[in-house]
Each structure stands twice: as C-alpha cells, then as structure tokens.
Amino acid sequence: MSTTASNQGILYVVATPIGNLGDMVPRAVETLQTVALIAAEDTRHSSRLLSHFAIKTPCIAYHDHSDDSRVDQLVAKMQAGESIALISDAGTPLVSDPGYRLVRSARQAGIQVVPIPGACAMIAALSAAGLPSDRFAFEGFLPAKQIARCTQLQSLAADSRTLIFYEAPHRILETLQDMVQVFGPEREVVIAREITKTFETIKGDSVAALVDWVAADSNQQRGEIVLLVHGAPKQENETLTPEQIHTMKVLLDELPVKQAASIGAKLTGLKKNFLYDWALQNSK
C-alpha cells in the first residue's frame, strides 16, 4: 500500500455495502486487503464482510466512544509508515457514523486522507425518491425525546431544501406524527426502508397518509430507515402587507399555527400553505 512522500502511512476512508454485498467496489476490497490495519466501528459486525471477501487484515475497534488515546495510537502508526483503512458498520464512514476525530487528527498531523467511495444510504434514497435534489440538507438522526425532536423540526419547517433524516424503526411512527404537527399534514415525505436489502421499500405520499400507512403495517416499522421531506415552498413572490402581518400576529396570539393560517387565509385572501409557513417562521 502506498505511503506519502514523507514515508508516512495513509488513512483510507472506505465505504462498505449497506446491505447487498454485491455493492462492494473492487478498489475497496483491494484497499482493505493491503493496508496494515483496519479501524472498524464494530469488529464483530465487520467480520462477515471481511470474511466474504477473504480480507485477513488485522482489525482494531474505533467508534464514537473511543478515547483520545486510541486516536493518538492510530495517528502514531500512520506517522510510522503504516496505512490504515477506516470503515463503519455499513455505508460511508462519517455520514452519521464515527470517524470525524480520527480524520481530523490525521489531517492535522499532515497525514494524507484518501476517500474510497461507495454505498451511502442517504444518497441512494435521494436518487430514488423523486424529490428535488439540487439542494438538500442531511440532518442525521432526530432527537429521541419528543420535545427536542419537535424543536429541531420546527427550526427546519421553513427550509426550502429537501430534508434527509435517518430514523430508528421504533421511533418512525412518532416522528411522522410529529412531522404532521410541525410541517402540516400535506407535506410530501418519502420513506426509504431497507435499501439494497430483500425487503427494500420506497414510498412517497403526504406525511399524514404515511402515518396511516405505517400504523397499519408493522413491517414498515422495521429495518434501516431514511426519511426524505420535500422542502417548504419558496415565498419570494408573495409578501404580507403591514395590515396582513398585524392580522396574523393577532391570530397567532390566540390560536395554534394551523388554525391561525386557515382563518388568516379567509381574512386576507392569501394561500393557507403560505400563511402556515409564514406563521412557523414568525411564531418562535
């Protein structure tokens, strides 16, 4: 395996399959076979992958709970000329996975960091979702507690970009219900579940309809899940007059956002969805 001009090793950030082992790219196999050491999120989890491709390279655990001494140990090995491959349990390392501290420390030490591209659940989901992909924001996992989750969703409610989340199966229904309350029942959402696996499912609908669909089928509350949310409609061509702003503020002082937008639409003649998004931005 190559070393840098200063005889330091290289840190390879290697993507691995997210379910289908056929998605492993040849360059990743070659890299994992020839580096001195593999830093894996979970060495036991990765053993199946490594065994399948006859990769006998020694492994060492590196994950979110690894202390600074483990980072220092790996950096020291690369400084001594050993190349290391960083892998996560599945997909591309650092995309909602550990590895940031190691990559940052390696770069600060002048060690070359080389990405080996491959599978990534959020990009695979986005490519098949049929939502706008020119601008998008990856938000990782939402908070487990409802109040914190709703607060984060509220901060994103007026964002016009496609929003991408990972979600745990046991929280998927609660998260969709919170999205109904924060984004409104008609916001388009796509669920991409078990991508590349036997029971791969990709379904888009209004978030309210998806709540009913998931609640009615417990199978949709299993496996690895990506949620993609259509961005809020852009508002640059529609503005409120001072009188309309006053009307909406009075309504928001007394009513929930959804009801204020509905009544505001009748009083001002503006679209309810526009007023709903305006209210979300101005009721914080």
Q: Which pLDDT tens digit goes with each residue over 68-94?
A: 899 999 999 999 999 999 999 999 999
pLDDT for 284 equals 60
In 3-state terms, what secondary structure has residue 133? coil
In 3-state terms, what secondary structure has residue 228? strand
pLDDT for 238 equals 62
Q: How confident is the model at residue 193 (pLDDT cuts 50, 70, 90)?
A: very high
pLDDT for 271 equals 85
Tens of pLDDT, residues 194-226? 999 999 999 999 999 999 999 999 999 999 999
pLDDT for 99 equals 86
Tens of pLDDT, residues 10-35? 999 999 999 999 999 999 999 999 99
Contact of 152 with 140, CB cutoff 8 Å: no
Asked whether the predicted pLDDT for residue 64 surpasses 80, the reply is no
Tokens representing residue 136 in the block:
């998008």
Question: d(Cα 211, Cα 248) in Å, to the nearest integer?
Answer: 29
Dump the DSSP string for 30-44: HHHHHSSEEEES-HH
Tokens representing residue 31 in the block:
């890299």
How many residues in total does the chain contain?
A: 284
pLDDT for 235 equals 58
Half-sphere exposure of 90 (CA within 13 A, CB side): 15
Tens of pLDDT, residues 83-140? 999 999 999 999 887 789 999 999 999 999 999 999 999 999 999 999 999 999 999 9
Half-sphere exposure of 125 (CA within 13 A, CB side): 31
Query: Which residues sit opposite 227 in a β-bridge?
Result: 165, 191
Asked whether the predicted pLDDT for residue 3 surpasses 90, the reply is no
Q: Residues near 42 by Cβ (< 8 Å), separated by ≥ 6?
A: 61, 63, 89
Tokens representing residue 67 in the block:
């202390």
Q: Residues near 69 by Cβ (< 8 Å), separated by ≥ 6?
A: none
Q: How far is CA 197 from CA 21, 51, 72, in A?
A: 10, 19, 37
Mean pLDDT of the chain: 93
Contact of 142 with 175, CB cutoff 8 Å: yes
Query: Which residues sit opposite 163 in a β-bridge?
Result: 137, 229
Averaged pLDDT for residues 246-260:
92
